[in-house]
């Protein structure tokens, strides 16, 4: 059984078809990357998977359940987490406090009780574990405003993981990073392989080819190819449309 299945998904904006009868699957524990040129419809697709945008037609199944019409909150409770969209990062708070807020939200408590919740081990324990998992255990009490860009992206991933998802929707996690930061994030995501289903949208092809079990190429909202990294590298239509044909 697939963890995620998308069938004949369509999203139009006036005369523009952003998602064109798109089919897509993610198996449990699989990292499935979506690549394509700017304007291909990748972010629109991710937003539909997350529940932020409603498709015009087609169906989205998660764990064999039709979730096409479900809102973001319901999908989050089912175990779907979009990177950097679970909650806002509060720059005046520490890394630990930010993740504690995410844990608190997923436990069903109101943010209104923050002062009391600050001392609760039920929040601090899982929050610290998530930070250690992404390599930020040494920055628990560092204000976000004092953290480097790459560290903030790691923090955002910790906030996603703190919700205990089964499917991660990662929309350009390396965006704005230095080469060293991108390498570190790639290694971090590699350490998560097999533990989560992951939909990865990313322009860094080195990261994509290292991380992805399968790659789908999106052009003008349409999937033109799907396969392993070797399959995609060798596909002449992909080379022409996106990777560039060096012949």
- For 150, the domain range is 89-162
Q: Give the total residue count for the chain.
A: 247
Last residue of a domain, one of 162, 191, 219: 162
**234 pLDDT higher than 80:** yes
Verify that 82 and 170 share a domain, yes or no. Answer: yes
pLDDT in tens, 52-69: 999 999 999 999 999 999
Note the pTM of the prediction, 2 decimals: 0.90
pLDDT at 151: 93
**17 pLDDT higher than 70:** yes
pLDDT in tens, 151-173: 999 999 999 999 899 999 999 99
pLDDT at 246: 47
**205 pLDDT higher than 80:** yes
Last residue of a domain, one of 119, 143, 162: 162
Verify that 36 and 157 share a domain, yes or no. Answer: no
pLDDT in tens, 135-152: 999 999 999 999 998 999
Verify that 79 and 1 share a domain, yes or no. Answer: yes
**Which residues are 217's β-sheet partners?**
35, 225
Are 161 and 99 spatial neighbours (Cβ–Cβ below 8 Å)?
A: no
Verify that 102 and 152 share a domain, yes or no. Answer: yes
CATH of the domain at 173: 3.40.50.300
pLDDT at 88: 64
pLDDT in tens, 64-84: 999 999 999 999 999 999 985
């Amino acid at each position: 059984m697939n963890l995620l299945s998308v069938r004949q998904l369509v999203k139009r904006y006036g005369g523009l078809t952003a998602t064109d009868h798109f089919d897509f699957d993610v198996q449990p524990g699989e990292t499935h990357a979506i690549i394509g040129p700017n304007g291909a419809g990748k972010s629109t697709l991710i937003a539909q998977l997350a529940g932020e945008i409603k498709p015009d037609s087609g169906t989205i199944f998660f764990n064999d359940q039709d979730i096409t019409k479900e809102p973001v909150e319901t999908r989050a409770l089912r175990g779907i987490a979009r990177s950097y969209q679970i909650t806002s990062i509060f720059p005046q708070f520490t890394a630990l406090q930010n993740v504690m807020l995410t844990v608190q939200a997923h436990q069903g408590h109101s943010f209104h009780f923050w002062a009391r919740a600050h001392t609760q081990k039920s929040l601090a324990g899982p929050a610290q574990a998530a930070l250690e998992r992404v390599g930020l255990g040494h920055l628990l009490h560092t204000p976000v405003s004092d953290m480097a860009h790459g560290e903030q992206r790691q923090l955002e991933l910790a906030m996603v993981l703190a919700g205990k998802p089964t499917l991660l929707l990662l929309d350009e996690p390396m965006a704005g990073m230095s080469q060293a930061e991108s390498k570190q994030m790639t290694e971090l995501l590699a350490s998560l392989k097999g533990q989560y289903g992951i939909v990865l949208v990313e322009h860094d092809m080195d990261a994509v080819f290292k991380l992805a079990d399968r790659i789908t190429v999106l052009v003008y909202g349409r999937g033109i190819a799907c396969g392993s990294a070797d399959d995609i590298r060798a596909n002449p239509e992909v080379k022409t449309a996106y990777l560039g044909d060096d012949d």
